[in-house]
Each structure stands twice: as C-alpha cells, then as structure tokens.
A and B are shown apart, each in its own frame.
Chain A
Amino acid sequence: GQQLNQSPQSMFIQEGEDVSMNCTSSSIFNTWLWYKQDPGEGPVLLIALYKAGELTSNGRLTAQFGITRKDSFLNISASIPSDVGIYFCAGQLAGGYQKVTFGTGTKLQVIP
C-alpha cells in the first residue's frame, strides 16, 4: 500500500527560527494536505494543495506540492511556542471517495 514518510521525525528549535519538513510518497497523489495535532486533540487542517508545483501560504506557514506529485514540503517561519505539536502530511488520489493516507508525523518542539 501507499506509504508517506515524513522527515524529520522530530525536531527541537529555538523560538524565532524557521522550520522545514517534508513528506515523500512511494506513489503519486492528486491532493496534498498538511495537518497539525495538538496534545489531546484531533488533527486540524492547515493547508490544502491541489496542483503539482502549487505553493500556498497560511500566515507563517507555506506548503508546496512537489512537481513529481510524490512529495510535499511545509515551512514555518519565525516559530513561536504555540507551533509545538505533531505535523502530519496526507495525500489523496482523485475521486471523492478515495481515502486519505496520513504520513508518519513530525513532532515539533519550540524552545522559548
């Protein structure tokens, strides 16, 4: 089956630093999504990407849909303590009922 690998698995950064993480797939997706999960809560959608090469921002977050359609990247600029959490990428093939496959997650810790 499809697997989505995220790297890094975890990271510690200083407040104010920029963060980059990526997600790679063994197969092509038509939609890429990035979610954030806070402790004790469900994942919350941050950014959705629908087209190869697309670059989309949401505040300090920027995500890109890789040209090969097998990868995606998320950048967070000027990190703040509330950025702490687990970031998941997710991919979906075309078609309304296709399941969404989640990545392995990147755990982000921000040191004030």
Chain B
Amino acid sequence: DTAVSQTPKYLVTQMGNDKSIKCEQNLGHDTMYWYKQDSKKFLKIMFSYNNKELIINETVPNRFSPKSPDKAHLNLHINSLELGDSAVYFCASRRTGSTGGLWGGYTFGSGTRLTVV
C-alpha cells in the first residue's frame, strides 16, 4: 500500500545505454512530477504531467523522455546515458485544486539512485 512507488530503487548502467524508471501512485492525484537530486542534494524539477498532459518541461536534455500512460503512472526513459546523469531521481504526485486556494503538498516516492559508469 505504498502511496508513490518507483522502480527500480537502484540502477547501475554503462554510458551509452538506454534505461527506464517507472512510477505509480495510488493516491488518486491528478498531477505527477519527476525531480532530479544531485550529489549536493539540490532538488530540481524536470517534468510535470497533469491528467496525462505535459505541463512543465524544464530545460532537460532531449535524451530524457517522460511518458504518462494514465494519470496514475509517469515513467521516465533516458537514452544514451552519460556520467552526468548519475543522481537520485524522485517521482512525486499531488492533487491540484482550482487556481488559488489551498492545495496538497507533494507526496514523494523513495527515489531511484542511478549510477552511470
């Protein structure tokens, strides 16, 4: 009954490979996110989907491609992995309210530690 679950937890791969990280949430939230946390623990948003539509797309290399088959799932595919892609990738979700007013904070997954060698 994990709220936001990511797989795999750890991923070690060679440069140049293609890999995917999967995320699923069972909270009924309508918006999902991918964040990257670097070695200095800085959390930077990469993408956001609302009801399967891309709404935030930060300056991320186009080797990173998110896919949301439904509003409970958001996957991240990375092509031609580079050493600098090594980081912890967090999936998060929340319920967005109407514009303004109170809204729920993010619920994060436990992260996927990607190591590119």
Asked if A96 and B97 make an inter-chain contact with CB atoms under 8 angstroms apart, the answer reads yes
CA of A19 to CA of B97 in the docked complex: distance in angstroms?
Answer: 33
Instruction: Name A85-112 residues within 8 Å CB distance of B.
Output: 86, 88, 94-97, 99-102, 104-105, 107
Asked if B109 and A42 make an inter-chain contact with CB atoms under 8 angstroms apart, the answer reads yes
CB-defined contacts of A95 to chain B, threshold 8 Å: 99-100
Instruction: Name B59-110 residues within 8 Å CB distance of A.
Output: 90, 92, 96-100, 102-103, 105-110
Asked if A97 and B110 make an inter-chain contact with CB atoms under 8 angstroms apart, the answer reads no
Q: How many residues of B contact A (CB 8 A)?
A: 30
Checking B40, B45, B56, B106 against A45 with a beta-carbon cut-off of 8 angstroms, the contacting residue is: B106
CB-defined contacts of B50 to chain A, threshold 8 Å: 97
Q: Is B43 located at the chain interface by the 8 A CB criterion? A: yes
Checking A41, A45, A99, A105 against B111 with a beta-carbon cut-off of 8 angstroms, the contacting residue is: A41
Closest 8 CB pairs of A and B: A42-B108, A96-B96, A45-B105, A102-B43, A105-B41, A97-B55, A95-B99, A42-B90
